[in-house]
């Protein structure tokens, strides 16, 4: 499961792939140079690392993801809530909402979301 744990630079790199896949490796080098300021060697080093971990695939110079962004976000979110709030979603929301106000529409959306996950 730690395969989904990405450092910040790996996550930014993977986001480029997720947003542009399928993506030629040459195009990936150009985008990483423009967006991340990376050299070609850095791009290929990180690409190989994420391919070795089963996150991305580079086949015939075409880069695609094997793991979707939502899977990584779910893993990272759960890890953060478990580590910081002992797994308590209400404590996380209370800390996040500290002194913030929601619009009626946002509150309704959250209520619907919570209701959709309620145990019967």
Q: What is the pLDDT of residue 2?
A: 67
Helix or strand or coil: residue 65? Answer: strand
Sign of the C-alpha dihedral computed for residues 38, 42, 48 and 50 taken in this order: negative
Whichever domain contains 34, its CATH number is 1.10.10.10
Tell whether 82 is covered by a domain. no
**In the numeric block, which tokens belong to residue 106?**
């946002």
pLDDT by residue for the chain (120 residues), tens digit each? 566 889 999 999 999 999 999 999 999 999 999 999 999 999 999 999 999 999 999 999 999 999 999 999 999 999 999 999 999 988 998 898 888 888 999 989 989 998 998 887
Tell whether 107 is covered by a domain. no
User: What is the number of domains present in the chain?
Assistant: 1
Tell whether 74 is covered by a domain. no
Tell whether 35 is covered by a domain. yes
- Residue 13, phi then psi, degrees to nearest 5: -65, -50
Triad 24, 7, 56: Cα angle to 5°: 30
Sign of the C-alpha dihedral computed for residues 87, 90, 95 and 101 taken in this order: positive
Domain that holds residue 31: 2-69
Distance of CA 82 to the CA centre of its chain: 17
Q: What is the pLDDT of residue 68?
A: 95
């Amino acid at each position: 499961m730690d395969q989904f744990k990405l450092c910040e630079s790996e996550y930014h790199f993977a986001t480029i792939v997720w947003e542009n896949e399928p993506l030629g490796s040459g195009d990936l080098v150009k985008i990483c140079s423009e967006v991340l300021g990376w050299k070609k060697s850095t791009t290929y080093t990180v690409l190989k690392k994420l391919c070795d971990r089963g996150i991305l695939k580079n086949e015939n110079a075409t880069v695609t993801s094997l793991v979707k962004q939502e899977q990584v976000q779910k893993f990272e979110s759960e890890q953060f809530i478990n580590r910081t709030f002992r797994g308590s979603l209400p404590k996380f929301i209370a800390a996040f909402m500290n002194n913030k106000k929601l619009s009626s529409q946002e509150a309704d959306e959250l209520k619907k979301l919570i209701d959709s996950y309620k145990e019967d």
